[in-house]
Structure 1
Amino acid sequence: MDYKELDYAFPVNQLQEMKMAFENGDFLQAAQNIKKSLVGLEHIPLNIAVTGESGSGKSTFINVIRGLGDEDEGSAKTGVVETTVVATRYSHPRLRNVIYWDLPGIGTAHFTPNEYLKLVKFDEFDFFFIIASHRFRDCHIQLAQAINSMGKKFYFVRSKIDADLNACRRLRKSSYNEDQILMEIRSNCIKGLHDGGIMCPRVFLLSCLELEKYDFYLMQKTLENELPSHKRHVFLLTLPNIYFQALESKRDVFRNQIWKHALASAAKALLPIPGLSVDNDIDLLVNTIGEYKEAFGLDQRSLNCLATTFDKDVHDLRSVIRSQLVLKEITYHEVVNFMHRRELTKAALMVTDYAAGAVPLVGSVAAGGVAFGTAYWLLYSLLKDIADDAKRVLSRALENTV
């Protein structure tokens, strides 16, 4: 490692945030304030409503976007007939504060959008997915207009695209062109919604059986751009690890939070607690590294799900993981051993020196400064290793897939 790498490890926005955190000139107070903000971030609620006609694939969409199969524990009930008669909540398996709501089907003879929104407690939701498996009809348009009039965002999802393509493949054997067919479906959806009075509708073409294809990434980027920053953070961390862009987005989210976790961990170095053999708050670091591992899908449950999704051997997927810490259970003992490595100590001193040049108070208290540098480089290097391992695992999962 050299100082050029530290220019990359410390983005300018991180250094600016650090300076703001130390405005009162107190290392310990800044660290404790940051620790409180990190705890608060874990409890930011995100409520996502999923609605549409019976049989449009609402429940399957909720399952796959949470990284679950239709038969997994905690999955939404699916079927060829309407299985949802009241709004049903489904928490993300890892971030319990992110909740997908499976709403009752629309399109019945007695459907009225305003009464429907009142019935499902409209105000609880941050935004709506309106799903159709064929064309969008008047009921979808009326619901979107009612949602818009109440100041909430909505997005149209045209589901079961794989079924449409398969049908066209059989019917257009000599002239089949997937890109052209997708363009036709998209244009038809947008025209129908526009003719119904929806200006500039956002329509995403998806297959819940092949979520890594078609418009899922476009949908993610749209929400990333339109959600408030605190909600965007938790949304990105819930994304299934089925395409490389999602892994990059998660890496960026975590990378921008490293200094906060390092500073919170370093606060322990300044507290008068006798008998400590390690300056940092190791439990906090263990939890943070465990969060990295799960978010990037390298825990056993996530690897099993990925293997099932792509019909691969889970042991084959695990075989490409290079980080020894990831392959083990992340415990207090394992993290302490990792921190005692000589190269980490050298890197920690360089980080402390570098950060102190931009935010002098980081280095003004020796114990706190070194503890900060140790935690920062530990998390930075492990995040890099975990993200790289996740890319290798996904590459292996995608081998020989069409």
Structure 2
Amino acid sequence: MLLILFTIISAVENTEIKEALEKNDQHLAVAKIQEYLDKGQNVPLNIAVTGETGVGKSTFVNAIRGIDNKDEKAAPTGCVETTMKVTPYPHPNYPNYLKMVEFKKFDFFIIISADRFRENDVKLAKEIQKMEKKFYFVRSKIDDNIRNEERGQREFNEERTLTQIRDNCIQGLQDLRLQSPQVFLVSSVDLTLYDFPLLVETLKEELPELKKEAFLLAMPNISVDMIKEKKKAFKAKVKYFAILSAGVGAVPVPGVSAAVDTTLLVSVVTKYVLGFGLDIPSLKRMANYSGVPYEELKKVIMSTLIAVKVTPELLLRLLVQFSSLTALLAAEEGTRFIPIIGIPVSMGLSFAFTYSSLNMILDTLADDAEKVFTRVCRCQQTPVVSLC
């Protein structure tokens, strides 16, 4: 057993888990892994979106939650002020990730304007600075400005217009004695346009590590690179789930390890599906938001795990198609009762089965997420965004 545990250690960076494995304390290692995984699952991310009447706060809130303004869970929009007080708008897939709470509990602030930023915006920014919190200026409704400029100019140049709008906002903030302001130009109608990908990248880089992952997984897929980053975040934890599986592999009871492995896989794969926005509600929200019919989005999907409820039976039907995984599962049960070496070998096989299964499923789901994103971009005639 000790040899198997040391083999697994090489894949682990978490100090407490590694120490438990080195001491051959299987129960402590499993407990520490579960604690680590649970900690990552329960990280709230509180975002404040503020600005004057009519600047598009609600539309922006809906957009970053990946839902249409007409959705029943949408923040109300209108030509008059519809959000007069602090109101919580939980993310539909991650109710603890994106919500609005008491002022001091915000992780960062997004200050929105549809034209020039005002003195009140700057006063708020300075108060946020006193709390040592981050704030970001967002200039909304850029798509409207671009359309208006294009109609009124004989020789229209989009990049020049964007630069003029950005410079004008920055100069206005500097005139109000705010040093080194950064302004992001966004369209809440299409988040792949203008500065929204840069805003997301900036926010992600400036958040603490655990908050960074919560933010990343809660964001809609606005680029192929974002999908790849989500995949990378999921992949980093595969080894921990595999070690949990190996721990159960030490139980000398027929069928227990396989049952726990499939239950574990269901839980993890369900998180993958939600993170990539490939569950039924997310795909339907994407269809409403993008204008691409739901059935059209489903046509580009290859995995049988998407747009259905993930169950142990469904997973096993998928995995038995791969002879190598089936052989691992069978060998694990067959070696468990071999004297002396049975348990360590069984643990290693359990680790290998879970590790290989999760990586294979993750690759497939990430590919499908890219296909869905590309299909939406093609319909909207939007370039497939890359942040590289």
Aligned residue in 1 for 2:146: 165
Give the Cα separation in 1 of the matches to 2:31 and 2:315. Answer: 22
* Paired residues of 1:206 and 1:215 also in contact (CA < 8 A): yes
Give the Cα separation in 2 of the matches to 1:13 and 1:140. Answer: 50
Aligned residue in 2 for 1:367: 346
Are positions 1:323 and 2:303 aligned together? yes
List aligned pairs for 1:344-363, cutoff 5 A: 344-345=325-326
Instruction: Give secondary structure in 2 for the equivalent of 1:129.
Output: strand
Aligned counterpart for 1:223 among listed residues 163, 181, 203? 203
TM-superposition CA deviations, 1:10-43 (whole Å, max 9, x none): xx99544474562433334312311122122221
- The CA deviation at 1:285 is 1.2
Aligned residue in 1 for 2:367: 388
- The CA deviation at 1:202 is 2.4
Aligned residue in 1 for 2:5: none
List aligned pairs for 1:18-57, cutoff 5 A: 19=18, 22-57=21-56
Instruction: Give secondary structure in 2 for the equivalent of 1:325.
Output: coil
Aligned counterpart for 1:141 among listed residues 122, 140, 150? 122
- The CA deviation at 1:284 is 2.1
Give the Cα separation in 2 of the matches to 1:242 and 1:333. Answer: 33
Give the Cα separation in 1 of the matches to 2:208 and 2:292. Answer: 37
Instruction: Give secondary structure in 1 for the equivalent of 2:156.
Output: coil
Give the Cα separation in 1 of the matches to 2:372 and 2:328. Answer: 28
Give the Cα separation in 2 of the matches to 1:276 and 1:191. Answer: 66
TM-superposition CA deviations, 1:207-239 (whole Å, max 9, x none): 111112111110111011100001101110001
Aligned counterpart for 2:279 among listed residues 299, 317, 325? 299
Cα distance 1:192–1:320, how it changes in 2: closer, same or farther (>3 A)? same
Instruction: Give secondary structure in 2 for the equivalent of 1:22.
Output: helix
Are positions 1:343 and 2:324 aligned together? yes
Aligned residue in 1 for 2:356: 377
* Paired residues of 2:245 and 2:257 also in contact (CA < 8 A): no
Are positions 1:398 and 2:362 aligned together? no
Amino acid at match of 2:63: V
Give the Cα separation in 1 of the matches to 2:19 and 2:298. Answer: 42
Give the Cα separation in 2 of the matches to 1:153 and 1:366. Answer: 51
Give the Cα separation in 1 of the matches to 2:237 and 2:352. Answer: 14
Cα distance 1:275–1:289, how it changes in 2: closer, same or farther (>3 A)? closer
Give the Cα separation in 2 of the matches to 1:378 and 1:166. Answer: 49
Instruction: Give secondary structure in 2 for the equivalent of 1:76.
Output: coil
* Paired residues of 2:20 and 2:28 also in contact (CA < 8 A): no
Are positions 1:191 and 2:190 aligned together? no
CA RMSD in angstroms comes to: 2.4
Aligned residue in 1 for 2:72: 73
Instruction: Give secondary structure in 1 for the equivalent of 2:135.
Output: strand
Instruction: Give secondary structure in 1 for the equivalent of 2:81.
Output: coil
TM-superposition CA deviations, 1:87-122 (whole Å, max 9, x none): 111111111111332xxxxxxxxxxxxxxxxxx842
- The CA deviation at 1:345 is 4.6
Give the Cα separation in 2 of the matches to 1:13 and 1:73. Answer: 48
Are positions 1:150 and 2:131 aligned together? yes
* Paired residues of 2:67 and 2:289 also in contact (CA < 8 A): no
List aligned pairs for 1:225-244, cutoff 5 A: 225-244=205-224
Aligned residue in 2 for 1:269: 249
Amino acid at match of 2:271: E
Aligned residue in 2 for 1:356: none
List aligned pairs for 1:173-212, cutoff 5 A: 174-212=154-192
Give the Cα separation in 2 of the matches to 1:277 and 1:147. Answer: 51
Give the Cα separation in 2 of the matches to 1:279 and 1:121. Answer: 43
- The CA deviation at 1:263 is 1.9
Alignment TM-score, normalising by the size of structure 2: 0.86
Give the Cα separation in 2 of the matches to 1:82 and 1:13. Answer: 56
Amino acid at match of 2:233: V
Give the Cα separation in 2 of the matches to 1:65 and 1:368. Answer: 42
Are positions 1:127 and 2:108 aligned together? yes
- The CA deviation at 1:380 is 0.5
Amino acid at match of 2:49: V
Aligned residue in 1 for 2:95: 96
Amino acid at match of 1:300: I
Alignment TM-score, normalising by the size of structure 1: 0.83
* Paired residues of 1:136 and 1:193 also in contact (CA < 8 A): yes
List aligned pairs for 1:250-269, cutoff 5 A: 250-269=230-249
% of aligned pairs identical? 39
Cα distance 1:212–1:370, how it changes in 2: closer, same or farther (>3 A)? same
Amino acid at match of 1:386: L
Larger deviation, residues 35-44 vs 146-155: 35-44
TM-superposition CA deviations, 1:37-89 (whole Å, max 9, x none): 21222211111111110111111111110111112122111111111222111
Instruction: Give secondary structure in 1 for the equivalent of 2:256.
Output: coil
Give the Cα separation in 1 of the matches to 2:142 and 2:237. Answer: 37
Aligned residue in 2 for 1:352: none
Give the Cα separation in 2 of the matches to 1:275 and 1:395. Answer: 42
Matched residue count = 359
